[in-house]
Amino acid sequence: MSAPITEKRLLDAIAVVSEVIVLHGVKYAPLLDRLEAELELLKRYEDPVSRARRHLERQAVADDLRSL
């Protein structure tokens, strides 16, 4: 079983791939692109409970405005 993808693991992988690119050339750049994209997705991820709470809060505000 593989370990979960974490920000630290991605940053470590980015460091390794960066060294490979410097030493062996730009042909490895797609790996760096992919790791950076995965890091951005991880940073933007919001758990489902937090998203659900945000939707309920918006709905409550909209309901309050309609009752005015």
Per the structure, how many domains does the chain have? 1
Checking if the pLDDT of 24 tops 90, the result is yes
Q: What is the mean pLDDT of the chain?
A: 93
pLDDT digits (tens, 9 = 90+) for 27-41: 999 999 999 999 999
> Which two tokens mark 3?
């370990």
Domain assignment of residue 28, yes or no? yes
Domain assignment of residue 2, yes or no? no
Q: Which of 44, 19, 41, 43 is nearest to 32 (CA)?
A: 19
- Domain ranges, residue 33: 7-66
Domain assignment of residue 17, yes or no? yes
CA atoms of 35 and 58, how far apart (whole Å):
34
